[in-house]
Structure 1
Amino acid sequence: MATLIEDVLAEAERSGLGGLRSIHVEKQLEVQLDLGNLTALDTNPLNLGPFRQDPEEFLRSLARDNTQLLVNAVWQLPSERLHESIVAKLPQPCTPIPREKALPKPRPPTRWEEFAKLKGIQKKKKSNLAWDKEKKEWRRRWGYKRANDETKQWVIEVPEMADPNEDQFTKRVTAKKERVAKNELNRLRNIARAQKSKVPGMGLAPTDQPSKTELSKAIHVAKTSTASVGKFQDKLPKEKEQRSAGKKRKFQPLIGDFSAERLKQLELLKIMSSKKPKLDLTKAVNRQLREDEQEQATKRKKMLPKGRKGGKNNRNRGNGQDRKSAMKQRGKRK
C-alpha cells in the first residue's frame, strides 16, 4: 500500500501536479456553509499582494480552499451506501433562492379520478404484454399487432336478439367511432374544467338560436381539438380567422440553455454596475429638434402685430378686402 501511494505521488510530480495541499484549511473568519444548497460564503478580506501579482492563480487557490472546506463538511454528514457508492444526506437549505417563475399549480382531478376516489377504486398497473390465444405467443396489449385483435376476425357470430340481416362488421366500426368521440368529448370537458371556461359540449352552444359569434367559436374549438391544433384542417368557404386567437406566450426553459442565461445575467450586472445612464442619441436629437421648433413658433407669434393674431389666414383675408376696395374705386373712376 505504501509503495502504491509513493507511485501515485511520483506520477503527480512528473505530470506537474506535485506539492499536493493538505485537506486542513485555516481561515481568519469562519466560512459560512449552506450544505442544503452546497454553497460556501467567504467573508475574509482579500490579500491584495498575491492578487495583484497573479489574479488567476490567487482566485484558483481561494476557490480550492473553500471547496475543500465544503467537502470536509459534507463528509461529516450521515451517509449510506447505495449501489456501490456513498451518498450523504443533506440537511434543509438555509439560504432561500428566488424562483424566476411561479410554482406550477397542481392539475385538477378528472371526473373518473374523483369517482374512483369516492368509490375507493385503486389503479392497477397492467403489463404491456398479453397472451394471444390464436398465435400462441406474447404480444402487445394495445396498438399495432396487438394480442386478441377483434378487428382481424374474418367471421362474427350474430347475437340471438339481433337482426340477422344487420352487418356486424359495420356495427363494430360504428361502435368504435362512438367510443372514440365520447373519449374526446370527455377530454375537452376536463380541459374546460381545468381552465374554468365554458366550452360547447357538442360543438355548438346550448341555445335555441346560436349567434354568429357563438357558431364561429364552436367551429374554432372543433378545429383546434385535433392533435395538430387545427394546423392541417381545411377552411370553410368565406371563413374568417378567429380574432381572439393570438400568439401564445413563450417562456424560457428552466434548465438547459446555460450560455444564454449566463449572458443575460452578465448584461444585467453590467447595467447595474455602470454609473452613467445609457444614452439614446436618436431620442435625444429628436427631443432637441422638437424644443427648437417650439421656440421658433413662440418667436413668430410674438413678432406678429396685435391685430393679426390669426397669422396666415388673417393676412389672406386682409389682402382680399384691399382688393375689393381697389375694384370699387376703379368702377367709380370709369
Structure 2
Amino acid sequence: MVVFSKILEKEAEGAENFQPISVEKHLELDVDVGNLLAVDNNQFDGKLLKSNKEDYFLKLARDNTQILINHIWSCPIKKIDEVIMAELPPPRIVLPRMKRVPKPRALTKWEKFAKEKGIQKKKKAKLSWDAQLQKWIPMYGFKKVKAEKTKNWVLEVPQNSDPYEDQFKKNTAAKSENVAKNELQRLRNIAKARKIKVPRVGLTNPDVSSAKDLKAAVTVAKASTASLGKFQDKLPKEKDAKGISAITPGASRKRKLPPASGEDEKKEALTIVNDILNKRPKLDIDRVLTQRSQSTSSNQKVKSSEPTNKSKMAKKPKSGKGQKKGGKKSGGRKRR
C-alpha cells in the first residue's frame, strides 16, 4: 500500500504541471494566424494583479499562447519528411516595413535576349558519348580535360601560322582568354544591376570606350606609380579625370556614414512633428533685446558723425578761367 500511495502522489504532482488545453475567456482573442499574432482585449483582474504580479502575467501569457497554438493546429496539416506541419493562411494585418521592399534583379544580356526570342532553358546531360574514344565523357571537370588531352594528342599546324609555334600553348592561352572574357562579362552584369558605369579602368578599347573612360584610365595609370604620379609629366592642356577618387591610388576619399537605424529615424521624425504641431514660437527674449540695443546705438553713432553746419564744409577750388600755364607771354625779346 505504501508503494501504491507514492505512485499516486507522483502522478498527482505530474498532473499539476500539465494544464488543460481548453482556455475560457470573457472576450475572444483577436487572432491573426498568418502573423502568429494574438491580441487580448480583456481587462486585468485587479486583485490577482496586486497580490502576485509575476504569477498572474505568467499564467495570462500561457493561456493566450495556448489559444494561439489551438488556432494554428486548426489549419490544414501535412507531413513532410516525417515532420508534421501546419499550412498558415495569408496574414490578415499588414505590418509596416522599416526599409523598402528589394527590387527584382536586373536581367543579364543573355536572359533579356532569351526572353525576347522565347528561348527556354533546357537541362543538359552531365555525360556525352565520344565516338572516337568509345566511352562516356563528362561535359565539364578534370575528367573532361584528361579526355581532351588523350583525344587531341597531336594538332595540325595551320598554313599561315609559324611552323615553330606551340599549338598546344596557343590553345591553352585562347581558353584562358575566353574564361577571362566570361568573367569580365559576369562582372559587367553585376555592375549593370547595381547601376555602376563601366568600363572605368582596366580594359580600354578605342572603338568602344569613350574619351571619358580613356581619361580615367590614364589618370589611374599615372597615379599607380611608387610616387603616386608626382613625377609623371603631363601633356599640354591635359586635365585629370573627375569622379574617380574611389579607384585612384592615394586620392583622398570621404568616408561614407553608416545607414541610420530605425530608432534614429523615428526620433528625427518625432522632433519634426513636434516642431510643426507646437503653436508657440520659440523666442529668445535676451537675444532680441541685445540686437535691438545694438541697432539703436549704431544709429546714434551714424547721426553724430554727420556735420551739423553746412557753412564749415570745404569749398570747391575755383577754375583757371580758361588760361593755360604753358601759354606765350605778352611781349617778347627784342632783336638787335
TM norm. shorter chain > 0.5: yes
* Cα drift, residue 110 of structure 1: 1.8
Correspondences of 1:48-87 after superposition (within 5 Å): 48-87=46-85
Q: Does the C-alpha gap of structure 1 residues 156 and 215 become closer, same or farther in structure 2, counting only changes over 3 Å?
A: same
Aligned to 1:169: 168
Greater RCO (Cα-Cα under 8 Å, separation 6 or more): 2
User: Is the CA contact (8 Å cut-off) linking 1:200 and 1:206 kept in structure 2?
Assistant: no
| CA–CA separation in structure 2 for the residues paired with 1:109 and 1:97 | 30
* Cα drift, residue 187 of structure 1: 2.6
TM-score (norm 2): 0.58
- The aligned length equals 263
* Cα drift, residue 63 of structure 1: 0.9
Deviations 1:79-98 (A, max 9, x none): 12222222111111101011
Q: Does 1:157 align with 2:158?
A: no
Output the amino acid matched with 1:171: K
| CA–CA separation in structure 1 for the residues paired with 2:259 and 2:149 | 47
Aligned to 1:323: none
Aligned to 2:91: 93
Q: Does the C-alpha gap of structure 1 residues 30 and 177 become closer, same or farther in structure 2, counting only changes over 3 Å?
A: same
User: Is the CA contact (8 Å cut-off) linking 1:34 and 1:40 kept in structure 2?
Assistant: yes
* Cα drift, residue 141 of structure 1: 4.4
Aligned to 1:203: 204
Aligned to 2:103: 105
Aligned to 1:148: 145
* Cα drift, residue 115 of structure 1: 4.0
Aligned to 2:178: 179
Give me the identity figure in percent. Answer: 34
Give the secondary-structure state (helix, strand or coil) at the position aligned to 2:38: strand
* Cα drift, residue 7 of structure 1: 6.8
User: Is the CA contact (8 Å cut-off) linking 2:33 and 2:91 kept in structure 1?
Assistant: yes
Give the secondary-structure state (helix, strand or coil) at the position aligned to 1:33: strand
| CA–CA separation in structure 1 for the residues paired with 2:241 and 2:59 | 64
| Cα RMSD for the two superposed structures | 5.0
Output the amino acid matched with 2:175: K
| CA–CA separation in structure 2 for the residues paired with 1:124 and 1:179 | 23
| CA–CA separation in structure 1 for the residues paired with 2:121 and 2:213 | 41
| CA–CA separation in structure 2 for the residues paired with 1:89 and 1:35 | 10
Give the secondary-structure state (helix, strand or coil) at the position aligned to 2:31: strand
| CA–CA separation in structure 2 for the residues paired with 1:198 and 1:47 | 65
Return the index of the structure with the highest Cα Rg: 2
| CA–CA separation in structure 1 for the residues paired with 2:7 and 2:288 | 81
Aligned to 1:194: 193
Gaps of 5+ in 2: 1-5, 128-132, 233-239, 247-253, 276-281, 308-336
Gaps of 5+ in 1: 1-5, 129-133, 224-232, 253-259, 278-283, 315-334
TM-score (norm 1): 0.58
Aligned to 2:229: 237
User: Is the CA contact (8 Å cut-off) linking 1:42 and 1:66 kept in structure 2?
Assistant: yes
| CA–CA separation in structure 1 for the residues paired with 2:118 and 2:184 | 23
| CA–CA separation in structure 2 for the residues paired with 1:12 and 1:114 | 70
Deviations 1:38-57 (A, max 9, x none): 11011111222222333222
Aligned to 1:42: 40
Output the amino acid matched with 1:108: A
Q: Does the C-alpha gap of structure 1 residues 219 and 126 become closer, same or farther in structure 2, counting only changes over 3 Å?
A: farther
